[in-house]
Chain A
Amino acid sequence: MAMNEQLSLLPEIPASLSVAQVNAYLRELLEGDSTLQNLWVRGEISNLSVPRSGHMYFTLKDRQASLRCVMWRSQAARLSYMPQDGDQVEIHGSVSVYEASGQVQLYADQIRPVGEGLLFQEFNKLKQKLEAEGLFDPEKKKPLPFSPKTIGVVTSPTGAALRDMLNTLKRRYPMINVILSPTQVQGDAAPGGIVAALELLNQYIQPEVILIARGGGSIEDLWAFNDEQVARAIAASDAPVICGVGHETDFTIADFVADLRAPTPTAAAELAVPDQMEIRGILLERIEKLGLNFLDLVKQKRWDLAQMQASLLRRSPEGQLRSSRQLVDELFRQGERAIEHQIELYRTKLKGYSQHIAALNPQMILERGYALVTQPDGSVIRQRSDVEAGDRLNIQVSDGEFGVQVNDKTSK
């Protein structure tokens, strides 16, 4: 009875609808609902696929249910965080129906990791703000000294990070003074402590470089390094700052504002000083050069002398001169042999060091801001005489290489 009445009230609805009509109607209903058009949904990502179109398709699920999701290419390209199957996420978007299949879908425009949501937003907001102020500009990065004498360290006096850094410095380059400026690196007091520790070093010590470091931990543990005051103190530091916080995958605001980011505390210490093996190698190259230069000089003098004697010979009793000439020759030869022997010793030693140095990762040197310049045939450019104007050269830096052309070889 009630049913008949209803039907009679809607005489214009036909006895049956086409599938397309139902789906279009459904779509209109959903898209007219303000809640469904602007919502955050949380769940776990599964069946994520990104075909060649660049659009991102996945299913958001929890224990009871699942929901198909799409993120168009234009939005997916803007993601700062790339989700993976199994990730717990919060997704913003709108719900509608894909009419061709009748599939209800969430059209996503933002994705963020769950729980980290708030912290993550805070992080991005501060990052954008400081970036806009120019605090991360490459031109602002201060150069690092090749071999510092005094290094400031801002970290916990009891942490593993300090132990790791001191061990690394001891091994690589023990000829330095380390000044520890102790601070908490975790908890509410940490940001203020880090700022004060940095300022102490700049005020009283003026070290040539400062390491700010902390070992790995949860994102909350590392949060002091995402503090605005800490970031500003790093930017204001007179001494260049190397930041080594957490593990390779942890990025903090302090990393962005520091003059150099190191993946770990140990790496920060490695980037701060040269390896003594490098230095010993350079020393041996120099002492070999010294010997060769001297040898050249002796050979030159000997040649000059021989010329002089030849001219004398034309005027003097021959026998007498021949014996004195032999004597001088013999003396010079002895001198040369001694020097040659000395050079040979240095060479052998140098070879040992070269092998050692080759075994070290040259990437570390590049990371410190130095570049390797080579000819197309791979030979290394060491001095001005190795290049000619017009030469095309290869420059290798930490993240790859590029080509340049020599346009000027004028003296400095």
Chain B
Amino acid sequence: MSKKSDPAELNFEQAFEELQVVINELEAGEKPLEQSLTMFERGQALYQRCTDLLDKAELKVQQISDSGELNNFTE
């Protein structure tokens, strides 16, 4: 596992993809038990991160001006 960043720092896509990587590595079953346990826990944390992001997500809407500037858009 090259990436060891805190799951809370990852965006959705990063966490979503790393979860798949963890699953694949665990499936290969080549790592020692202790490391596998770490990976299992990492996978759970990544899963949690993804669902947290989904739960908390709020659609962000901005409006672009003729000069390309962005302003918050309110209906």
Tell me whether B51 and A283 are in contact (CB under 8 A): yes
* B64 engages A200 (CB within 8 Å): yes
Q: Are A293 and B23 in contact (CB under 8 A)?
A: yes
> Which residue of B is nearest A170, CB measured?
B59
Minimum CB–CB distance from B35 to chain A (whole Å) comes to 10
How many B residues touch A, CB cutoff 8 Å? 35
Chain B residue, CB-CB nearest to A175: B57
* Nearest CB of chain B from residue A351's CB, rounded to whole Å: 16
B26's partner among A182, A200, A294 (CB-CB below 8 A) is A294
Say if the beta carbon of A88 comes within 8 Å of chain B: no
Cβ B54 vs Cβ A175 within 8 A? yes
Specify which chain B residues have a CB less than 8 angstroms from the CB of A398 in the assembled complex. Answer: none
Contacts of A176 in B (CB 8 A): 59-60
A-chain residues with CB within 8 Å of residue B59 when the two chains form the complex:
166, 169-170, 174, 176, 178
Residues facing A in B18-75 (CB within 8 A) are 19-20, 22-23, 26-27, 29, 33, 36-37, 39-40, 43-44, 47, 50-51, 53-54, 57-64, 66, 68, 70, 73, 75
- Is the pair A297, B13 in contact by a Cβ cutoff of 8 Å? no
Q: How far apart are the CA atoms of A201 and B51 in the complex, in Å? A: 31
Check A286–B20 contact: CB distance below 8 A: yes
A147 CB within 8 Å of chain B: yes
A200→B13 contact, CB < 8 A: no
User: How many angstroms between the C-alpha atoms of A290 and B47 in the bound complex?
Assistant: 10
Contact with B along A271-305 (1 / 0, CB 8 A): 00000100110010011011101101110110000
What CA separation (Å) do A298 and B36 show in the bound complex? 9
Nearest B-chain residue to A203, judged by Cβ: B68
Q: Are A287 and B44 in contact (CB under 8 A)?
A: yes
CB pair B26 A287 closer than 8 Å:
no
Please report which residues of chain A, range 154-171, place their CB below 8 angstroms from some CB of chain B when the two chains form the complex: 157, 162-163, 166, 169-170
Q: Name the residue on B nearest A289 (C-beta).
A: B23
A27 vs B52: C-alpha distance in the bound complex, in angstroms? 82
A233: interface (CB < 8 Å)? no
> In the complex the two chains form, is A301's CB within 8 Å of B33's CB?
yes
B44: chain A residues at CB < 8 Å are 287, 290
Chain A at the B interface: SS class: helix
- Taking CB atoms, residues of chain A closer than 8 Å to B61 are 166, 177-178, 180
What's the minimum C-beta distance from A332 to chain B, rounded to whole angstroms?
A: 10
A274 to chain B, nearest CB (A): 11
Report the Cα distance A176→B39, complex, angstroms.
29
Contact between chains at B26 and A297 (CB < 8 Å):
yes
CB pair B19–A205 under 8 Å, yes or no, is: no
For residue A381, CB closer than 8 A to chain B, the reply is no
What CA separation (Å) do A286 and B40 show in the bound complex? 12
Asked if A395 is an interface residue, CB under 8 A from chain B, the answer is no
Contacts of A287 in B (CB 8 A): 19, 43-44, 47
CB distance from A147 to the nearest CB of B (A): 7
Q: Select from chain A the residue with minimum beta-carbon distance to B27.
A: A293
Residues of the A chain whose Cβ atoms lie less than 8 Å from the Cβ of B60: 176-178
**Given A290-B23, A298-B33, also A157-B64 (CB < 8 A):** no
7 shortest interchain CB distances as A-B pairs:
A204-B68, A174-B57, A293-B26, A175-B57, A290-B43, A294-B40, A287-B47
| A-B contact list, 10 entries, CB within 8 Å | A157-B73, A166-B75, A174-B59, A179-B62, A196-B66, A200-B64, A205-B64, A280-B54, A286-B43, A293-B29
A interface residue numbers (CB < 8 A to B): 147, 149, 157, 162-163, 166, 169-170, 174-182, 196, 200-201, 203-205, 276, 279-280, 283, 286-287, 289-291, 293-294, 296-298, 300-301, 339
Q: Supply 20 further A-B pairs (C-beta < 8 A) apart from A201-B64, A276-B54, A297-B33.
A: A157-B63, A166-B61, A175-B53, A175-B54, A180-B62, A181-B64, A196-B66, A200-B68, A205-B64, A280-B51, A280-B54, A283-B16, A283-B51, A290-B19, A290-B22, A290-B44, A290-B47, A296-B29, A297-B26, A297-B29
